[in-house]
A and B are shown apart, each in its own frame.
Chain A
Amino acid sequence: MRIDQRNKKTFDIYNIMENIKKLILNTVPTAVIEEKQKLTVTVTFDKLHLLAKTLKENAALPFDFLVKLIGVDRGEELGVNYLLCSSTDLSKELVLKTGTTDRENPLLYSITDLFETAQYNEREVFALLGIRFINNPDMRKFFLNADWVGYPLRKDYDANPELNPLSLESVDMIDIAPRITENEKGELVEDTVNIFGEDDYIINIGPQHPSTHGVMHFRTALDGEIVKKIDVHSGYIHRGIEKLSESLTYPQILHFTDRLDYLSANINRHGLCMAVEKAAEIEVPERAQYIRTIMDELNRIDSHLLAWACQTNDLGATTAFIYGMREREIILDIFEKTCGGRLIINQNVVGGVMFDIYNEFQKDVKSFIIYMRDKLKEYDRFFSHNVIALGRMVTIGVLSKEDAINYAVTGPAGRGSGWSCDIRKHIPYALYDKVDFKEIIRTEGDSYARYLNRLDEIEESLHIIEQLIDNVPEGDICAKVKPIIRLPEGEYYSRVEACRGEFGVFIESRGDKFPYRLKFRSPSMALVSAMPLICQNEKVSDFIGIGGSMDYVIPDIDR
């Protein structure tokens, strides 16, 4: 009976994907469809927009969630890979590929009008690869200064420091954005557009500001106390991790993932390990899977506690900040006893985990679960129903479900807008298909929904740990792995649920011990890209509160 059901399900998936293939070939007959790790469709650059639009508007299975937009220097051509999936079922994935052979003036068509999240990603591709996107309303470089010489992710990039010397001269912010549009006759027109109106009163929030949760720069146009428009500047912590990774072996790259979103360090690392393990076909021992899942969930609680502490601090409750950090310290102690690290724990390695759990691990975790449940009640009692807190969270910063999908806002924020987007449920990895847990979904979409979602997710994480902690099997903690791993030629994707949303890894390997191209999907970038939308017409003091409820981590965005 069960086998029948499973067969039927596989058959259904097969059928659906066959229909999608037919749809693609009907729309673009010249498309090349390949069955790789994901269904990959290669089209010429002028057909991409049409195909993406058709797929997005496909009623049976709309591909309306742009997961990743990856710029790749493929040697003779510069191209972009788009990982699309359906917002109703995240396991239905599709890769679109396009490219241009013009390396002097590469131009592709933008899909910003279909997926808002493409906006920042396309600007990133322009800064790092020099591809300009036709019809993108704002073609400024995203991470680098406008006068940066060269495009770092190109294979022929000249890294000579004399070309881009360290300058201590302050530069003026440029509020005029170049753009390139196609008019009705099909001609390309280059012009500029002013980001702000002439009479706008603009204040700079950041880059060095304690409430922006990192070095983000929000240029904010105000009308009295009301936010009219926000222009986001990023790159104040852009370390070029993706370029650095191209000259390091896979085990060496692992430590970069911890330093992306340092609050979900273990989960990010899990994501990269999974991508490499899948590609090299390494079987992870069961004991390692248990340890990984427990550590991931502990990491999630740690991150949500810090998010809670910072959000309450942003709303003016300093005591709550101290409380959140106090509980977090217990988790850090458990981490420390396990592997010596506090914040960045270096636990996962390719093939398993580096350190086994210690003798009293179970006892410590169990006593923490009891303690934490008690504290959650306390948080609920003294902050969650506080009149002032409610006034600053309820109906503030509302993000609708459509916008959440359009801006690719995942994690507690996306689920606060009523979008079921938990990778642990949709594409289970590690042991998430064996444990029972609820996906916390609220439909209000305001700061308060995001706030409550985090507290509820702490409870769910405790529940997951509770189911696993007594059943850790005996055995190896790490599979036998060669020190230098060569991945077979191909493209590999992996997706995990980090604390702020979906974290993704893309590896393009050409059979070498180094990746040819490595790209991380940052959940925080989507959160920040939604900030201008949800802060519009809110008070400037609530801007800080909304930022706290979104809980983005900037080094994750800048990479």
Chain B
Amino acid sequence: MELKNVNIKGIPTAEFNDNEYLENYIKELEANGVNVVLSKIDELINWGRSNSVWPLIYATSCCGIEFMATAAAHHDIARFGMEVTRNSPRQADLMIVAGTMVHKMAPLIKRVYDQMAEPKYVVAMGACAISGGPFINSYHVVPGVDQIIPVDVYIPGCPPRPESLFYGLMQLQRKIKVEQFLGNKQR
């Protein structure tokens, strides 16, 4: 998978070419055989999907405030087509889990995730959502949201800066861009 020059300050283009797991993913898809016409339609769909990801903010603590800062004018998430934050899971493509997950909340996040329509993605934002963070030894904390729901992108930080969030969301966009919804014979 070749990427054109990516123009992001502080992130060299070479980093974007470290694509081992995506390449494996593509190989797996190609092994199943792809129709030429449908794969072009796929590209169109992926272009649209990756540039208008509508997030549902599952914010439980501090990371939620950093998301608010990200969504506000200074950092402006609208540049990535993600400004339409949906509060209903049925209208959202992406769930951003921002904050600690505890035992009492676990059934509820599962329920909200189940209510989202396919295709759906999950971003674990911050140390708590990744692994429990500073509270990992607690009796009431779930060590990472991936114990409950599958996670696509992990964004480290406590809380991650808006720039890190953007980087993580761009990684998600890359993942969406190589997906095949029509061309895959297995479907």
Encoded as 1 (CB less than 8 Å from any B CB) or 0, chain A from 327 to 369 comes to 0110010000000001110000000000000000000000000
CB of B91, distance to nearest CB on chain A (Å): 13
In the complex, chain A residues 196-223 whose Cβ is within 8 Å of any chain B Cβ: 207-210, 214-215
A240 and B74 contact, CB distance less than 8 A: no
CB distance B135 to A239 under 8 Å? yes
B 100-152 contacts with A by CB, 8 A? 100, 102-112, 134-135, 137-142, 147-148
Per a CB cutoff under 8 Å, which of B57, B62, B104, B109 touches A144?
Answer: B104
Cross-chain contact B106 with A326 (CB below 8 angstroms): no
CB neighbours of B168 from chain A (8 A):
none
The total of interchain contacts (Cβ-Cβ below 8 angstroms) comes to: 125
Number of interface residues of B (CB under 8 A): 42
**Chain B positions within 8 Å of A344 at CB level:** 62, 158-159
Bound together, the chains give a CA A239 to CA B61 distance in angstroms of: 11
**CB of A171 closer than 8 Å to a CB of B:** yes
Whether A16 is near chain B, meaning CB under 8 Å from some CB there, is no
Chain A positions 525-559 with a Cβ under 8 Å from a chain B Cβ: 554-555
Residue on A nearest B73 in the bound complex, by CB: A322
Interface segment, A256-264, A381-389, A436-444? A256-264
CB proximity of A84 to chain B, nearest CB, Å: 30
CB distance from A207 to the nearest CB of B (A): 6
Interface size on A, residues (CB 8 A): 47
Instruction: Evaluate contact between A168 and B110: CB separation under 8 angstroms.
Output: yes
Whether the pair A215, B72 counts as a contact (CB closer than 8 A) is no
Tell me whether A236 and B104 are in contact (CB under 8 A): yes
| Contact A152 B105, beta carbon cutoff 8 Å | no
Q: CB distance A343 to B107 under 8 Å?
A: no
Report whether B139 and A329 are in contact in the complex, using a CB–CB cutoff of 8 Å: no
Task: Verify A207–B158 contact, CB threshold 8 A.
Answer: no
The reply to whether B74 and A326 contact each other, CB–CB distance below 8 Å, is yes
Q: State whether A306 touches B65 (Cβ < 8 A).
A: yes
Q: Kindly provide the distance from the CB of A321 to the nearest chain B CB, expressed in whole angstroms.
A: 7
Q: Do A243 and B134 contact each other (CB < 8 Å), given the known contacts A145-B104, A262-B61, A325-B68?
A: no
In this complex, what residue of B is CB-closest to A215?
Answer: B60
Q: A167 vs B147: C-alpha distance in the bound complex, in angstroms?
A: 11
Q: Are A145 and B103 in contact, CB atoms less than 8 angstroms apart?
A: yes
Asked whether, in the complex, the Cβ of A325 is within 8 Å of the Cβ of B69, the reply is yes
Known contacts A210-B57, A239-B102; decide if A343 and B140 are in contact (CB<8 Å).
no
Q: Which residues of B contact A169 (CB under 8 A)?
A: 107
* Interface contact A329-B138, CB-CB below 8 Å: no
Cross-chain contact A237 with B102 (CB below 8 angstroms): yes
Decide if B166 is an interface residue (CB 8 Å cutoff): no
Q: Is B175 an interface residue (CB 8 A)?
A: no
Query: A170 contacts the other chain (Cβ, under 8 Å)?
Result: yes
Nearest 7 A-B pairs (CB), nearest first? A325-B72, A262-B62, A240-B138, A329-B74, A239-B135, A555-B61, A170-B107
Can you list 25 A-B contacts (CB < 8 A)? A152-B140, A159-B139, A164-B139, A166-B147, A167-B107, A171-B107, A210-B57, A210-B85, A214-B59, A236-B105, A237-B99, A237-B100, A240-B135, A241-B135, A241-B138, A243-B139, A244-B135, A247-B137, A262-B65, A321-B72, A325-B68, A326-B74, A342-B161, A554-B61, A555-B100
Binding site for A on B (CB under 8 A): 57-62, 64-66, 68-69, 72-74, 85, 87, 99-100, 102-112, 134-135, 137-142, 147-148, 158-159, 161
